[in-house]
Every structure is written in structure tokens, then in C-alpha cells.
Amino acid sequence: MSLDEMVFIKMRGDRELKGRLHAFDSHCNIILGQVQEMIYSDPDIPPTVKISPMLYVRGDAIVLVSPIK
């Protein structure tokens, strides 16, 4: 329902993604564009941030998907 809109994805392993939803399938595999990835390794240290133009995310690693308004 949110194709070509910004979404927030919470993943296993203390990772979070924000990006534009390009495609998904019935297994919740997702293709994102304009991706900002935050990796939390320690509560006292700010997250590591990575920027990617396009990213494929496997559905079995996803915990939550939410639209960003």
C-alpha cells in the first residue's frame, strides 16, 4: 500500500532502515531506495549510519515495517 513512499523497518540484530519502498513480495522481501541504515552496537555510542542508493532486505530478518508520514 505504501509503494514509492518512505518506510521505517526494524530488523533483527539492532538495525533500523529508513527508505523509499520500491517492491515487496509475499515473503516480505523488500527493495528500498534512498536508504539510511542505522546500526546500534552499544547504548552509550551513537549508531553507525550508512547511506545506500538501493538495498534488498530479506523478509526473515524484518521485525516491523511502518510508513513514515
| Domain chopping of the chain, boundaries | 5-67
Assigned CATH topology for domain 5-67: SH3 type barrels. (2.30.30)
Asked whether the predicted pLDDT for residue 1 surpasses 70, the reply is no
Asked whether the predicted pLDDT for residue 19 surpasses 80, the reply is yes
Task: For the sheet with 15-24, list strands across it.
Answer: 48-57, 30-39, 15-24, 6-11, 62-67
What's the pLDDT at 66?
Answer: 96
What's the pLDDT at 69?
Answer: 82
Percent of the residues in the chain that have a pLDDT greater than 90, as a whole number: 94
